[in-house]
């Protein structure tokens, strides 16, 4: 038995692979294109571990995915692979359409063919779990109830529109072909190995480098934040016992305005790594032009997952953000390699082509 993970060299995917192999001996086949966001240094602790098989490739490569499925006969596929950064999707949506929509379609085609050829028992047991985002639901007003699984899809950015399209394709493959799929829609993650283009790691890295801490617009946009390891445990839970064809919202019950996040990170750094001049890090806060089409508020109602599958996050925001800041302070070489682009040389050095 094995599972196939796509995008397992990215932020959430690599945390998932590490968590999986910390709790199970079931091998993981890890297919990743190694875009700028893929970093094999995240998985360095698995070097020499035969339970982890890394494969450099694209989910949109039907032949490659088909060959992998035939070779390893996984009992499940968990699809993390995506272009994931909203700001990049605004500057250039093309890669988002290519991977998140066309790539997911090719992946589904390969999985459909593989699944259709399985023996009855394996066919019944197979699962495709598609990892998605709360951003597909669009933006909430201040007093609106949190997103449930029945909310209308109203994606507003090229990123969220491309994820919404992939969710629809996954749904259609279940309804049309009977493919046993599960979809999770999760809120903003944070934690170790988060690429420092996203808000929380960017704040930590820029603070320490004495750079401005860019706050878009008035900083009052609200996100729900979930520690990445809690997302991993939710995915394991849904994979194990989720009802086929269902979607599950995953969230941390931690709605926070961005400015509060910025002040929390600054305060933790003031405590753990005070500035040499004794000034607080918050003096580095700089208000910058707002993101075009910036969604005002996301909030997740994760009661379905709790009531059906008994999942709740283990971390509070206070405990998770402290762990995260400490991780970045203790892993400066990882940060430096990302910032210098050195992580890409490292891949060539250790893995050849
Ligand atoms: P990430 O950008 O850190 O990682 C994406 C990974 O996918 C990278 O390793 C990249 O190399 C790989 N990849 C990209 N295109 C590929 C392709 N065509 N074929 C194979 N691999 C490819 O993203 P992340 O933050 O880890 O997000 C993982 C998934 O979770 C995404 O689907 C994202 O939409 C979803 N999600 C993310 C968040 C969040 O807060 N980060 C929240 C909810 C859902
Ligand atoms: P981000 O981490 O990019 O995640 P997402 O856009 O998927 O929610 O951004 C989180 C929030 O922080 C979002 O409201 C945009 C805001 N933000 C800033 O204010 N400054 C920044 O430099 C970045 C990257 C994000």
pTM recorded for the entire structure:
0.97
**Helices 317-330/199-208 angle, 10° precision:** 50
Q: Which of 114, 137, 159, 190 is catalytic?
A: 159
Q: What is the Cα–Cα distance from 288 to 281, expressed in whole angstroms?
A: 17
- What top-level class would CATH report for the domain 3-189+226-253+293-315? alpha beta
Identify the residue whose C-alpha is closest to ligand 2 atom 23: 199
**Does residue 257 have its Cβ closer than 6 Å to ligand 2?**
no
Identify the residue whose C-alpha is closest to ligand 2 atom 5: 86
Nearest to 107 by CA among 184, 15, 187, 33: 33
Look up tokens 């394991």; give the residue.
236
**Does residue 39 have its Cβ closer than 6 Å to ligand 1?**
no
Q: What is the Cα–Cα distance from 187 to 231, expressed in whole angstroms?
A: 9
Contacts with 277 (C-beta within 8 Å, 6 or more apart), sequence order: none
Q: List per-residue pLDDT tens for the chain, 353 residues long.
A: 999 999 999 999 999 999 999 999 999 999 999 999 999 999 999 999 999 999 999 999 999 999 999 999 999 999 999 999 999 999 999 999 999 999 999 999 999 999 999 999 999 999 999 999 999 999 999 999 999 999 999 999 999 999 999 999 999 999 999 999 999 999 999 999 999 999 999 999 999 999 999 999 999 999 999 999 999 999 999 999 999 999 999 999 999 999 999 999 999 999 999 999 999 999 999 999 999 999 999 999 999 999 999 999 999 999 999 999 999 999 999 999 999 887 777 556 655 54
Identify the residue whose C-alpha is closest to ligand 1 atom 41: 189
- Answer whether 30's CB lies under 8 Å from 59's CB: no
């Amino acid at each position: 038995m094995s599972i196939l993970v796509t995008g397992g060299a990215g932020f959430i995917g690599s945390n998932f692979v590490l968590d999986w192999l910390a709790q199970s001996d079931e091998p993981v086949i890890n297919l990743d294109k190694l875009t700028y966001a893929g970093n094999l240094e995240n998985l360095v602790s698995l070097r020499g571990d035969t339970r982890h098989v890394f494969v450099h490739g694209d989910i949109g490569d039907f032949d490659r995915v088909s060959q992998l499925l035939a070779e390893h006969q996984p009992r499940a596929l968990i699809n993390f692979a995506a272009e994931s950064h909203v700001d990049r999707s605004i500057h250039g949506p093309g890669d988002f359409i290519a991977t998140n929509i066309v790539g997911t379609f090719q992946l589904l085609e390969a999985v459909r063919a593989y699944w259709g050829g399985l023996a009855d028992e394996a066919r019944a047991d197979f699962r495709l779990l598609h990892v998605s985002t709360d951003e597909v639901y669009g933006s909430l007003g201040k007093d609106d109830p949190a997103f449930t699984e029945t909310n209308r899809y109203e994606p507003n950015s090229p990123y969220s529109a491309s994820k919404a399209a992939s969710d629809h394709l996954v749904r259609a493959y279940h309804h049309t072909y009977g493919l046993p799929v599960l979809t999770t829609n999760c809120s903003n993650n944070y934690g170790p190995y988060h690429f420092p283009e996203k808000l929380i790691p960017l704040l930590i890295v820029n603070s320490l480098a004495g750079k401005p801490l860019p706050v878009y617009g008035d900083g009052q946009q609200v996100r729900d934040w979930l520690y990445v390891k809690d997302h991993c445990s939710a995915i394991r839970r849904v994979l194990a016992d989720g009802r086929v064809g269902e979607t599950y919202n995953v969230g941390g019950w931690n709605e926070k305005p961005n400015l509060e996040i910025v002040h929390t990170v600054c305060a933790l750094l003031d405590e753990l790594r005070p500035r040499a001049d004794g000034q607080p890090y918050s003096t580095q806060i700089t208000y910058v032009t707002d993101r075009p089409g910036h969604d005002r508020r996301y909030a997740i109602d994760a009661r379905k997952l709790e009531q059906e599958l008994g999942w709740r996050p283990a971390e509070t925001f206070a405990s998770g953000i402290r762990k995260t800041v400490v991780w970045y302070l203790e892993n400066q070489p990882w940060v430096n390699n990302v910032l210098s682009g050195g992580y890409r040389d490292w891949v060539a050095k250790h893995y050849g082509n």
